[in-house]
């Protein structure tokens, strides 16, 4: 690796958290929804209804994050607040994941899943904001891409172990339910261990100059929203981001559930989505290198258009090989669109306000994903088919692409 591509110790430890939390992300898009749908099916819940309930659980968790993210993000910008806030939600997320081992009732399972996902999503508000403390503007695209790349490949380590355990459960005398419970524990341990180096070495470099209480925190948040109102480029970018990244996260969250609805077997779904991680690893690095030659605002529209094509292709999904092709296409562009959007935003915000800005960013990103999953759930129940929801997701990509191109023509203030 060229000298300029080598990571510092702090950059490497920051990347390791992507490796750890990505294990949970992979579970949410593979094993957890399959486990939930099997529990729901055993309780005589119709397939379209269980898909809708899963969508609603995702939506509830993202609404909670949308409410908490900006306010707690603003509070975390006080000196030495970012790491404790990050740690609290890490414990909530890991603890929630472990708790999924116990319930057999589908409703209880969904409630515990919402708790785990809120913890996971809130850690990302503070983690993304840490980026300004661990690297420079010149290296931000590369380090962000590196995080997503190694997150994809690193998450495969506990996932492969989990998959072998689940698929071979009968041969070693375990029920599928027990094997999945052990898999949750393995991934929780992986998530925790890969986070320890960051907790040990991270120090908040940029922070607000004065300590603020709740009232002042809300006041500062209102001030930031006022700044965005006067900044057309940042404002339109966030709106564009709302639509296209919402579509990305909906595809990630709902792909397994949708695949089951159109008749793809559990084994094919799991193997195809594992393959996606291996495709995403080199492609995220490739786009990271391309960002040194081409500006991010030239690469991101290409990724959005690719996702629009992916959503349209998913409308005629009905066989395993088509799902494998779809998974490959997602793998190519998934890391790039997430990593470059994160670093693009990180370079245009005040560093001492990074947590509050990334709290708002999270509303328009993961926190706003409630719209895609909610639309998917409502459309699935109204039309009694998941394909109706996929069509709406395609429209979100089209609108996001239009708005991103529009903001790219505006000069930065």
Bigger pLDDT: 293 or 71?
293
Q: How confident is the model at residue 318 (pLDDT cuts 50, 70, 90)?
A: low
110 pLDDT higher than 70? yes
Mean pLDDT, range 227-249, rounded to an integer:
81
- pLDDT tens digits for 282-312? 888 888 888 878 888 889 999 999 989 888 8
Q: Which pLDDT belongs to residue 3?
A: 46
- pLDDT tens digits for 20-43? 888 888 888 778 888 888 888 888
Q: Which pLDDT belongs to residue 53?
A: 86
Q: How confident is the model at residue 365 (pLDDT cuts 50, 70, 90)?
A: confident
Counting residues of the chain whose pLDDT is more than 70, the rounded percentage is 81
Mean pLDDT, range 32-55, rounded to an integer:
82
Task: Name residues whose C-beta falls within 8 Å of residue 125's C-beta, 6 or more positions apart in sequence.
Answer: 65, 69, 72, 73, 76, 355, 358, 359, 362
- Domains in the chain, start-ordered, CATH in brackets? 10-205+213-408 (1.20.1250.20)
Q: Which pLDDT belongs to residue 114?
A: 94
Counting residues of the chain whose pLDDT is more than 90, the rounded percentage is 15
Q: Which pLDDT belongs to residue 306?
A: 92
Is there a contact between 401 and 301 (Cβ–Cβ < 8 Å)?
Answer: yes
Q: How confident is the model at residue 258 (pLDDT cuts 50, 70, 90)?
A: low
- pLDDT tens digits for 324-345? 887 888 888 888 888 888 888 8
How buried is 222 (Cβ within 10 angstroms: 0-12 exposed, 13-18 middle, 19+ buried)? exposed
141 pLDDT higher than 70? yes
What angle, 0 to 180 degrees and rounded to 10, lies between the N-to-C axes of helices 370-383 and 47-76?
170
What angle, 0 to 180 degrees and rounded to 10, lies between the N-to-C axes of helices 82-99 and 106-134?
150
Q: Which pLDDT belongs to residue 1?
A: 45
* One-letter-per-residue 3-state SS of the chain: CCHHHCCCHHHHHHHHHHHHHHHHHHHHHCHHHHHHHHHHHHCCCCHHHHHHHHHHHHHHHHHHHHHHHHHHHHHHCCCCCHHHHHHHHHHHHHHHHHHCCCCCCHHHHHHHHHHHHHHHHHHHHHHHHHHHHHCCHHHHHHHHHHHHHHHHHHHHHHHHHHHHHHHCCHHHCCCHHHHHHHHHHHHHHHHHHCCHHHHHHCCCCCCCCCCCCHHHHHHHHHHHHHHHHHCHHHHHHHHHHHHHHHHHHHHHHHHHHHHHHCCCCHHHHHHHHHHHHHHHHHHHHHHHHHCCCCCHHHHHHHHHHHHHHHHHHHCCCCCHHHHHHHHHHHHHHHHHHHHHHHHHHHCCCCHHHHHHHHHHHHHHCHHHCHHHHHHHHHHHHHHCCCHHHHHHHHHHHHHHHHHHHHHHCCCCC
Q: How confident is the model at residue 376 (pLDDT cuts 50, 70, 90)?
A: low
Give the total residue count for the chain. Answer: 413
Q: How confident is the model at residue 91 (pLDDT cuts 50, 70, 90)?
A: very high
- pLDDT tens digits for 343-364? 888 776 766 666 677 777 777 7
CB burial readout 146-160, b (16+ within 10 A) else e: bbbbbbbbbbbebbe
R_g of the chain, CA atoms, integer Å = 20
Mean pLDDT, range 103-123, rounded to an integer:
90
- pLDDT tens digits for 190-214? 999 999 999 998 887 766 655 555 5
Query: What is the rounded distance in angstroms from the CA atom of residue 253 to the CA atom of residue 33?
Result: 9
The pTM score is 0.73
CB burial readout 87-112, b (16+ within 10 A) else e: eebbebbbebbbbbbeeeebeebbeb
């Amino acid at each position: 690796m060229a000298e300029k591509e080598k990571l510092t110790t702090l950059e490497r430890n920051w990347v390791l958290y992507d490796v750890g939390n990505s294990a949970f992300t992979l579970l949410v898009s593979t094993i957890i929804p399959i486990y939930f749908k099997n529990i729901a099916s055993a309780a005589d819940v119709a397939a379209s209804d269980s898909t809708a309930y899963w969508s609603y659980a995702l939506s509830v968790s993202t609404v909670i994050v949308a409410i908490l993210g900006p306010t707690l993000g603003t509070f975390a910008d006080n000196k030495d607040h970012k790491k404790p806030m990050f740690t609290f939600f890490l414990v909530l997320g890991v603890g929630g994941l472990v708790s999924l081992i116990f319930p057999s009732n589908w409703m209880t399972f969904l409630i515990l899943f919402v708790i785990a996902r809120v913890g996971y999503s809130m850690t990302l508000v503070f983690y993304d904001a840490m980026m300004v403390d661990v690297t420079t503007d010149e290296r931000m695209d590369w380090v962000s891409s590196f995080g997503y790349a190694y997150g994809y490949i690193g998450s495969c380590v506990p996932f492969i172990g989990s998959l072998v355990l689940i698929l071979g459960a009968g041969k070693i005398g375990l029920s599928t339910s027990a094997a999945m419970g052990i898999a949750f524990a393995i991934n929780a341990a992986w998530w925790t261990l890969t986070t320890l180096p960051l907790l040990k070495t991270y120090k908040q470099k940029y922070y607000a100059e004065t300590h603020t209480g709740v009232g002042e925190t809300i006041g500062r948040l209102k001030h930031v929203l006022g700044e965005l109102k006067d900044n057309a480029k940042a404002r339109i970018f966030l709106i564009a981001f709302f639509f296209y990244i919402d579509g990305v996260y909906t595809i990630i969250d709902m792909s397994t559930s949708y695949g089951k609805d159109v008749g793809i077997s559990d084994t094919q779904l799991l193997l195809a989505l594992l393959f996606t991680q291996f495709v995403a690893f080199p492609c995220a690095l490739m786009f990271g290198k391309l960002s040194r030659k081409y500006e991010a605002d030239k690469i991101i529209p290409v990724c959005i258009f690719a996702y629009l094509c992916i959503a349209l292709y998913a409308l005629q999904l009905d066989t395993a090989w088509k799902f494998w092709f779809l998974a490959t296409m997602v793998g190519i562009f998934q890391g790039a669109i997430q990593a470059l959007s994160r670093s693009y935003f990180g370079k245009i915000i005040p560093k001492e306000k990074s947590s509050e800005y990334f709290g708002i960013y999270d509303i328009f990103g993961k926190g706003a994903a409630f719209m895609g999953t909610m639309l998917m759930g409502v459309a699935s129940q109204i039309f009694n088919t998941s394909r109706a929801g996929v069509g709406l997701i395609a429209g979100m990509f089209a609108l996001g692409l239009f708005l991103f191109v529009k903001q790219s023509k505006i000069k930065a203030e």
